[in-house]
Amino acid sequence: MNILKTFSKNKTLPARYSDMTTTEMELRIKEIKKMLGNKLFLPAHHYQKDEVVQFADGTGDSLQLAKISALNKEADFIVFCGVHFMAETADMLSSVNQIVILPDLKAGCSMADMANIHQTERAWDELNKIFGDTILPLTYVNSTAEIKAFCGKNGGATVTSSNAKEMVSWAFEQKERLLFLPDQHLGRNTAYALGIPLQDMAIWDPIKNELIFEGSDIEQIKVILWKGHCSVHEKFTVNQIQDFRQNYSDYKIIVHPECTHEVVSASDLNGSTHYIIETIKHAAKGTKWAVGTEMNLVNRLAQQFSDKKIVSLNPNLCPCLTMNRIDLPHLLWSLENIIDGKLENIIKVDDETKKYAVMALNRMM
Ligand code: 13P
Ligand code: SF4
């Protein structure tokens, strides 16, 4: 579902929540969680605020959240603390009788909204005219259920930042070239890490409906990158890395692969949010880290591992505004709605879309 359709369904948070104190809200959430017990499951992404994460029944990166949502069979309600595409995935992987709720429908993902199904079908027609039946579509999980279904229907799969290399290698066993949606940076960084030179990659511009390729022989193209990006991770720059190297040479730079190729190449390490957490957790005491990812996670790492020095690579920090829409008032509102039997913000993917999107997800899982 695109952001405009989602916004139109969003219910405004009742005013009474602004009059409640943090302690009142926390106590009430604890009370409801106790009341609902195993009937409620509350997964949270690593980018969620601490005020929300404290109540999570499980935290993880996108792949882990997809797995834990698929594994939980006992909860009637999955209150998903993350963004819309993650809640859609949880709905598709959970049982039909389980209800997935997103506390605020405005928690979308600007990257996922950079590829809609009409643009994708149009691109597919054009690319098939140029390359024939030689392309496999792969989509980053940060995409709508419709795009996942498109990939499923056309023999492709989903990928996350923690299995992108395996999935791209798999794709090349199926077809000669691939279309990678919607994040050009993850696609480029992954293909490059697997030994595909930048000259063998082209960009598909969904707005101009054109293929951008600087070489002379299009047969050379192995990877077609959708022109999408994450506006949070694009804020990390090579200049910031150079500043660190010059002024604080004892810092290691670790970034998420949604950062540009230049930033990933200039950094020491890159990987999913789970990889970033594990790397820092297992690093020696006293080590220093400049981290290129969303600020809630960077702040949490700094608090949790106070025996190390952890700062954001960007001195102005980088919040994901949509992830941050899930807060204590919205979480409490969702839980009180469950208790009152008036369910709001249910995320339900239609059966036809789900059938094909699950194919793409299963090929990955
Ligand atoms: P991870 O799968 O690494 O948690 O990434 C999700 C995401 O949206 C990063 O911007
Ligand atoms: Fe989407 Fe970027 Fe936010 Fe991740 S950080 S949810 S990719 S906008």
Segment 120-178, tens digit of pLDDT? 999 999 999 999 999 999 999 999 999 999 999 999 999 999 999 999 999 999 999 99
- CATH of 3-108+322-349, picked from 3.40.50.1700, 3.40.50.300, 3.40.640.10, 3.40.50.10800, is 3.40.50.10800
Q: Measure 105 CA to ligand 1 centroid, in angstroms.
A: 19
Q: Which atom of ligand 1 lies closest to the CA of 271?
A: 3
Query: So what's the pLDDT on residue 51?
Result: 97
Pocket flag, ligand 1, residue 142 (CB < 6 Å)? yes
Residues of the chain with CATH 3.40.50.10800: 3-108+322-349, 112-226, 233-312
User: Which tokens sit at 209?
Assistant: 């409906």
Spatial separation of the C-alpha atoms in residues 255 and 276, rounded to whole Å: 8
**How many Cβ atoms are within 10 Å of 317's Cβ, its own excluded?**
14
Q: Whose CA is nearest to atom 2 of ligand 1?
A: 62
Taking the CA of 229 as reference, the closest ligand is 2
Query: So what's the pLDDT on residue 5?
Result: 61
Domain 233-312 listed as CATH 3.40.50.620: no
Cβ neighbours of residue 339 under 8 Å, at least 6 residues apart? 32, 35, 36
Q: Of 249, 250, 277, 239, which Cα lies nearest the Cα of 61?
A: 277
Q: Where are the beta strands (DSSP E) in the chain?
A: 40-41, 43-45, 58-60, 77-79, 99-101, 135-140, 157-159, 177-181, 201-205, 210-212, 223-226, 251-255, 269-270, 288-292, 309-312
Pocket flag, ligand 1, residue 230 (CB < 6 Å)? yes
Contact 202, 212 (CB under 8 A): yes
**Residue 320, amino acid:** C
- When pLDDT is cut at 50, 70 and 90, the band that residue 188 belongs to is very high
Spatial separation of the C-alpha atoms in residues 297 and 7, rounded to whole Å: 26
Write down the mean pLDDT value for the chain. Answer: 95
Which residues sit with their C-beta closer than 6 Å to ligand 2? Answer: 83, 109-111, 142, 230, 232, 258, 294, 320, 322-323
Pocket flag, ligand 1, residue 273 (CB < 6 Å)? yes
| pTM metric for this prediction | 0.94
Domain 112-226 listed as CATH 3.30.160.40: no
Q: What 3-state class would DSSP assign to 78?
A: strand
Q: Whose CA is nearest to atom 1 of ligand 2?
A: 109
Query: So what's the pLDDT on residue 170?
Result: 98
Pocket flag, ligand 1, residue 258 (CB < 6 Å)? yes
